Structure 1
């Protein structure tokens, strides 16, 4: 049996998205059918629409989502119909070399649903990050469902499915920020603001926010930034050093993902400090650093995959911290919109007017 629902589809690179009828099959072995309640509009979806991630059009967009499990396929034991879940795009396999070594957050064989969702004419859809949640229902691997408190607001906790988790995890898991550290975050959109919140949660004594947009710097202050640097008016490296007794920050997180911003992160850290790349570059970007500088400055240069998170471990904890008032996830939701408003939301995101637009179904 197939379920006919509405979904946001990108047919070709650079073209506006369309809201179309799609077919979602009943779950097969290891799969779950989820009634989507809310899904954030993430920059990764715009990358898909622009052809910056792949060319497997048409894409079913959307991946920062929460909803209720409607049905499960054979062999599924971790979730059942009625469970409230946040979706994730790294369902660990439990069998690859990383999982066997006790590092499931780096799983090299993550799972997605095997059956395709399609257009009504049978054309297979490529779901964004294996999820495709700009739809009334979606089909995922059961391991992509993480149960959290059902009293949670889907529009808020669904954002843990990508950007908010990526930022918080870059600070808490990848770096990791230690109590008393100085931290700088370059780029204060959704991911950068989450990194600031994560650094604050971890006990950083100083959190320096860097951006070219005064509006984003205001957001950063709301999430715990102690110092603000407008990179249009000051050199970020020199400004960060000036705020850290001339030595640089213990941790610098690049939430933009461009060669120039990563160079800033590399040189703005203290000797033996840590630079973390969590912003997603495009395939054409290249980084040129003097190898002697990589050697002589010591420390660590890290990339952060999804905030190095383990959804089953991290999502419930962050939801609980939010409910305790220790991290303000509500502040990431700028607006709540309908499926038909996704294209306009992309424009607002591109102009830097929102942290997150969230589709509510």
Structure 2
């Protein structure tokens, strides 16, 4: 057992604070990771606001990279000293998805068995709920060994740690879920961190045109930096008609983009995505809706008549052991600009201010550096 500093959300809607926590020595199948960098993701804010569940107190942070410090019994996948990216889907290898050769859909992903606890304050001893089973706004964290993916140690932790959630979700939504490739057109509705990552994924796959849609000029400019060939300000024009016009110019007769990625998580933008895709095209929902949102009232004949596929993307349908090392190699080759997602580097006690900047749309990612 050791004590470290970490960012904790003690109560719903209250500002987070830096607290001392207890990190157990790793048990069977577990590892302790010394965190080097951790991105500030909107999911962490959801936790603080009680938007995911009410299992307070939360240990926040999950987009992280660091070095394995210690491993427990039965761990063979990593060793002390390995540079790893943390992931929130430790594949079980035994569920029905894994058994049929689709481990990226694993239905029984797992986390560390032991609990980290608060070491100070009136609720000292309380068990912490780590965000997405990771809890990496901490100098050190306890995870399942399967949540550690070894990658090239030459990579910059602040950049590659973002593959742990938002950037991988966007890249994978385009490449894995949407099947973007050469000869296909892609539109991305919503150009926050995940949406811009979807643009980058489409560019990496060779898709063209790549149409970025947002109401914020700064976000559209960032999307252009990451590979968007066309920009649509949906506060000024009808995005559906704009996407159709661009797709038709590239492919005469097209009735929309081949792949449309909705990265907002709202019914109205999902409906735009539905009507902005070409016949037999694919819609990918990667934006996270709230529990009260409903699928728009669509004529069933439109669903039937347009064909294609309506998909949701879980973590970019990634397999960390397959995708993380490949993407890190592309980053080190200069073919994937992960540094471009890092807007600012901050200290552990600046997470609350980073939440405010993220809420205002001023950053793609703030990253805590340890």
Would the TM-score normalized by the shorter structure come out above 0.5?
yes
Residues 275-311 of structure 1 show CA distances to partners (whole Å, capped at 9, x for unaligned) of: 0000111111111222221111110000000000000
Q: Does 2:279 correspond to 1:279?
A: no
Structure 1 residue 50, shift from structure 2 partner: 1.0
Question: Which is worse superposed, 246-255 or 103-112?
Answer: 246-255
Structure 1 residue 3, shift from structure 2 partner: 1.1
Q: Does 2:323 correspond to 1:314?
A: yes
Q: Distance in 2 between matches of 1:269 and 1:234?
A: 17
1:257 matched to which residue of 2? Answer: 265
The count of residues paired between Structure 1 and Structure 2 equals 360
Q: Structure 1 segments of 4 or more deviating over 6 A?
A: none
Point out where structure 2 has 5 or more consecutive residues left out of the alignment.
Answer: 249-253
Q: Does 2:363 correspond to 1:346?
A: no
Q: Distance in 2 between matches of 1:6 and 1:282?
A: 31
1:302 matched to which residue of 2? Answer: 311
**What secondary structure is seen at the aligned counterpart in 2 of 1:67?**
strand
Superposition map of 1:62-81 within 5 A: 62-81=61-80
**What secondary structure is seen at the aligned counterpart in 1 of 2:199?**
helix
Q: Does 2:208 correspond to 1:208?
A: no
Q: Distance in 2 between matches of 1:12 and 1:235?
A: 42
Q: Does 2:18 correspond to 1:19?
A: yes
Q: Distance in 2 between matches of 1:324 and 1:150?
A: 14
1:99 matched to which residue of 2? Answer: 98
1:182 matched to which residue of 2? Answer: 185
2:48 matched to which residue of 1? Answer: 49
What is the root-mean-square deviation of aligned Cα atoms in Å? Answer: 0.7
Point out where structure 1 has 5 or more consecutive residues left out of the alignment.
Answer: none
Structure 1 residue 180, shift from structure 2 partner: 1.5
**What secondary structure is seen at the aligned counterpart in 1 of 2:247?**
coil
Q: Distance in 2 between matches of 1:213 and 1:49?
A: 26
2:160 matched to which residue of 1? Answer: 157
1:360 matched to which residue of 2? Answer: 369
Q: Does 2:4 correspond to 1:10?
A: no
Q: Distance in 1 between matches of 2:322 and 2:200?
A: 19
1:234 matched to which residue of 2? Answer: 237
